Amino acid sequence: MAISRRDLLVGAGCSLAGGFHIGSLGASGLQARIFDAAIVGGGTAGLPTAIFAALSGADVLVIEKTSNLGGTLLLSTGQIAGSETVFQQRAGIADSPDEHYADVMRINQNTSDPSLTRLTVDNAGATINWLADHGFEILPGHPVTGIGHDHFRVARYLQGVNNGISILQAFLPTFRALVNKGKITVLTESEVVELLQEKSGKVLGVLVKDASDKIKEYRASNTVLASGGCAANARMFEELHDVPLYTQAAYPASTGSGILLGLSAGGYVWGREKYAALPGLVALDNNYPSPMQAWAPLNAKKRKPWEVLVNSEGERFVQEDHPSAHHLELELLRQKGHRHWAIFDSNILRR
């Protein structure tokens, strides 16, 4: 039976909304406890953090400001790459973390942090295998060398049959079991509004505003900010990236609240120089952020270019048929406002 994206979202919402929310009676008892870990955000990062902390013996509190768990997994493609996976083995593909590492550094031109990249590639295969052991299924023909951007030299890139929801569905049975055992406690429709700190700066827990706007205090030995980015907050996005948020395509709850919490505790924002734009957006209007009217795949390996690309000065700034998609992405970052225009004639438009 065909299942639409809306059906998946509605189904996930129905299955997640029930059984997790702690009402006012339960919450009062929770305030007397000191958790081993309070995790802010129940999505892509928060769910696995909670699962593996609980499996390691921690008493975990997960605080999610929306009514559902899953975060951006409800909208994202959930694409992931790793070496020595069961999916590669089934396809007879030889690969290794060293080859994965070399491919990553080649693609990003040695701009990623070597230690973090090494940590990622050394654990990516085991992560994918864990997901596979818990029901994760991939698209026919995967793994592949890539889908967008520049591709790997080895087929290690894959996507779940239901996009990011495939990853969420792999997480949920283990997560539910840990909730039922009392190892994970979940507060939904609850937003962390402040970190509790000693004068020394040590974080002692969180202040949470629940669905009825009541403020409650929860203590924890460790607090993890796993609430994602700010791609649904046009003002913060522009302040951090120095360009407007041109389209609103992000998860609505990605408002940057976790970033503000981190800053309030004396943290800082780093890595903004790693920002990469995705060229090809056709906005519906100039009232940014605008709905996305269309998207042009500006990747010469996927579609031979028929158009000439120019910047806001009317100057051609890129080799449109360059074999590297990363070439266009980098050149676009150098253009005023990260904007570009496509010039083509009526014959090209018709064809």
Q: What is the pLDDT of residues 293-319, one digit of tens each?
A: 988 888 888 888 889 999 999 999 999
The separation between the first and the last C-alpha atoms of the chain, rounded to the nearest angstrom, is 35
Please provide the average confidence, as pLDDT, over all residues in the chain. Answer: 89
Mean pLDDT, rounded, for 326-344? 91
Q: Is 5 a residue whose pLDDT tops 80?
A: no
Q: Is 14 a residue whose pLDDT tops 60?
A: no
| pTM recorded for the entire structure | 0.87
Q: Is 20 a residue whose pLDDT tops 70?
A: no
Q: What's the confidence (pLDDT) of residue 130? A: 98
Domains of the chain from N-terminus onward: 1-65+175-274 (3.50.50.60), 80-159 (no CATH), 281-350 (no CATH)
In 91-242, DSSP assigns E strands to: 157-158, 184-187, 191-197, 203-209, 215-225
For the segment 56-67, what is each residue's pLDDT rounded down to a tens digit?
A: 999 999 999 999
Q: Is 42 a residue whose pLDDT tops 80?
A: yes
User: CA–CA distance from 142 to each of 77, 88, 104, 182 (Å)?
Assistant: 14, 9, 19, 38
User: CA–CA distance from 179 to each of 60, 64, 130 (Å)?
Assistant: 9, 15, 19
Q: What's the confidence (pLDDT) of residue 287? A: 92
Q: What's the confidence (pLDDT) of residue 325? A: 86
How many Cβ atoms are within 10 Å of 265's Cβ, its own excluded? 16
Higher pLDDT, 303 or 179: 179
Kind plus residue range of the DSSP H or E element containing 61? strand 60-63
Q: Is 17 a residue whose pLDDT tops 60?
A: no
Q: Are strands 184-187 and 341-343 parallel, antiparallel or unpaired?
A: unpaired
Strand order in the sheet with 215-225: 184-187, 60-63, 34-40, 215-225, 203-209, 191-197
Percentage of the chain beyond pLDDT 70 is 92
Q: Is 74 a residue whose pLDDT tops 50?
A: yes
For the segment 92-133, what is each residue's pLDDT rounded down to a tens digit?
A: 999 999 999 999 999 999 999 999 999 999 999 999 999 999
User: What Rg value do the Cα atoms of the chain yield, rounded?
Assistant: 22
For the segment 199-244, what is each residue's pLDDT rounded down to a tens digit?
A: 999 999 999 999 999 999 999 999 999 998 999 999 999 999 888 9
Angle at 288 between CA 287 and CA 289, to 5 degrees: 130
> CA-CA distance, 296 to 281, in Å (whole number)?
6
